[in-house]
Amino acid sequence: MIQKIEKIKNIGNYEDYVASGDVTLKRMNLIYAENGAGKTTLARILHSMSVNNPVVISQRKRIGAITTPEVCIKDESGQLIYNGTKWNRNKLSVTVFDTHFVSENVYTGFQINSDHRKHLYKFVLGNTGVDIAKKIERVKQLIESKNNEIVTLSNQIQMASKCQDVEKVCNLTPLEDIDILIDAKKKELMIAQNNDAILKQSTLPLFPEIPFSLDVENLKRVLSVSINSIGKEYLDIVKSHLEKLESNGMEKSARWAYTGFQIISTLGKNECPFCGNSIEGIKLIEGYNQYFSDQYINSVREVKKIKESLSSINIELYINQIISTNKQFEELNNFWANYITVGDEKNAFNYDFDILCACLQSLKDVVDTKFANPIDEISTIAVDECVTELRTLSDKIKTINEYALLYNSKILELRTKIRKIEDVTKELSELELNKERFATPLIDKCYMYELANNHLKRLQRINKLFQAAQKTESNRVFERYGQKINYYLCDVFNTKFRILEIKDGGIKGRAKEANLSYTLTFNGTPIEQEGESNISFKNVLSEGDKNTIAFSFFLAKLTTEPDLTNKIIVFDDPLTSLDLNRRNATIHQLVLLYQYSKQMIVLSHNLHFLIELNSRSLIKTCDKKSLQIINSNGKSSIREHQIKKEWIDSYQKALDLMENFLSNPLVDNQEDAINSIRISLETFIKLKYCRYIPDPDQTFGKIVSNLQYSPCVFINSNKAEVIDKLNQLVAISWRGHHGSIEERDTYSEVNLTMAEAQQYINMTLELLSHEL
């Protein structure tokens, strides 16, 4: 049994508390403390000692403390000491009921605090189950956060890719040579968009072949012929004559001479056809006879034929045809180059016809020379040059025509493969999306999206495992404590709640996760864990109901212990917003537990509750100690306390102040006297009519309202009259620093005259003495 709290240092509001006075604990201990004085800290110290958990204390280390926390508690075996890191022993069996017990054993789905019972409608029983539930809640928070992250990334991916199918975007695989593929698809789209023009446009024209040819061998033969049958003497005479003629301005003297010779030969005359003189015996004539032989005549004939052939060549016409064809070729080639590629570069026809014209002219000149000098051998170089140039031109025409034929085959192929614009547009979009997918920022966003999804899947698997573990734990808890919990809910606290059966948890109704393995019912109807219906946890459980369920589980755990005689039970504010019947039942259970336990410590900020507990006959006469925790200037300490004495002293002081004002009505005394109206009436009513006041911490106005609608009976049988007087006194004794927020809208400060103050004080004393 704990005998004394000897020392608490640097924990909560306990700066350096050392026990003084008679603060020895007994078997039953009632400890009163205002909120914030240090009662919960004391309860946590006792819990830390019982489970040997230094973290509980380290979490409450006094703010600003330099030295380590210290605790010294005395029991029958000596001292239990906490030295800042650990307890020297923990042999005492201590069980603490406080808000932390609820947070560790009753999962609400919300942050547990001193007002935890406001949110008990998603509950899990048992510390193991609660630990799992909190892990589930954490996992669910992570899942929600991860889902939010995925949604954000999805939106970013959709905006960047202009594609609503995020999974499609992220699952794309990179394509090689994507830029080349995109360019090809763009060209294909352009083809589809220009379908009509492509079908109507002409193919490439073919260049005309060279429209003439040269008999090279014959040319060379004719030019190479020389006539050697004429004697040298006569040859010199003829040449001299011809040169003389030419020097006199005659062009083509040989042709002139040959013409005259033919006339002579044809007519058979021996006279000159031009001057009429006799030509008999003239050596020149004999020379011409040899000169203009049959061989000469054949040579002239052949040269003439060649000359006529060359003259028939209309090279200008051919050049114009080539130029026209080339212009058309270039225009069409430029058009089709947008849709077709043949080879690495666009082909073109380039040729300098001036060279060919020059070669042909040189050839003609050579032939003319031969024609003028049939007996002379003429060089054939001009023939070779002309043939070479014609072969060059022919090769170029052949090459360009081969290109045109290949190009035209591609054009025909293109025309047969033109596709719908919408199909090609879609494929182009897919290629462009593929390129964007593996470029910034999409490549990073998709990577983060994939990571987030993988993380989400892991969290979902973990959540599933936790859900299964929670079901298993729920079965265990119900099998062990379910019957006892139902006993307290039904027989002790007289509620309509039951934990009836174990069910296979599955997702039911609007729930987003598996149901617990046990079912809480109200009037036999299962309560929905989620939703807004009239049978949901949110709408069925009142504050008192929620508190009763939490307390029932604590009692069930406690009373299933095999032996309570070695158990020290600590209650930190076990009573919160219970109705009268359940409050009485709670007090009764404390009294019962006291009889079987080794020691009981009850801490509360509700002095009225402690007075009522103390008034029970068994507690009134037991081995009991009353203490108070006070907070003075931020420093907590424990001292001996008489539970009723504080109320009696304040009540007596209030009476003295009012009577002093009546006998000595000074302005300086009026304020204290008016404040005493409220103090005296509250104290009197809370003591006499406590059973009709569910919460003694209510404001004076609400206490009067509770009495008005309760079955209480006053000395003055005219209850309405008494209530009316009390409401008048509520109105005039209200002060902003005492009243509630709600009262601020109803009452305001009242400035009373001296006579009015005396009137209301007399009314108060009359109520206290004869009417209440």
Which DSSP string do the residues of 196-230 spell out, in sequence order?
A: HHHHHS--PPPPPPPS----HHHHHHHHH-----S
* Res 745: pLDDT: 40
Q: Does position 655 have pLDDT exceeding 70, yes or no?
A: yes
Q: Does position 544 have pLDDT exceeding 70, yes or no?
A: no
Q: Beta-carbon neighbour count of residue 1 at 10 Å?
A: 12
* Res 545: pLDDT: 74
At residue 522 the predicted structure's pLDDT band, cuts being 50, 70 and 90, is: confident
Strands 525-526 and 518-522 turn out to be antiparallel
Q: Beta-carbon neighbour count of residue 18 at 10 Å?
A: 11
What angle, rounded to 10 degrees, do the helices at 353-372 and 216-224 form? 40
Partner residues linked to 32 by β-bridges = 604, 628
Q: Which residue has the higher pLDDT, 245 or 742?
A: 245
At residue 258 the predicted structure's pLDDT band, cuts being 50, 70 and 90, is: confident
Phi, then psi, of 555 in degrees rounded to 5 = -65, -40
Q: Which residue has the higher pLDDT, 749 or 133?
A: 133
Q: Does position 508 have pLDDT exceeding 70, yes or no?
A: no
In tens, the pLDDT along 201-247 reads 999 999 999 999 999 999 999 998 887 766 666 667 777 887 888 88
Taking CA atoms, 661 is separated from 545, 665, 672, in Å, by 47, 5, 9
Poorest-pLDDT segment among 521-535, 587-601, 718-732: 521-535
Percentage, residues of the chain above pLDDT 70: 87
In tens, the pLDDT along 674-696 reads 989 988 898 888 878 877 887 76
At residue 531 the predicted structure's pLDDT band, cuts being 50, 70 and 90, is: low
Global confidence as pTM: 0.55
In tens, the pLDDT along 486-506 reads 998 898 888 888 887 645 444
Mean pLDDT for all residues in the chain? 84
Q: Does position 464 have pLDDT exceeding 70, yes or no?
A: yes
In tens, the pLDDT along 13-60 reads 999 999 999 999 999 999 999 888 999 999 999 999 988 889 989 989
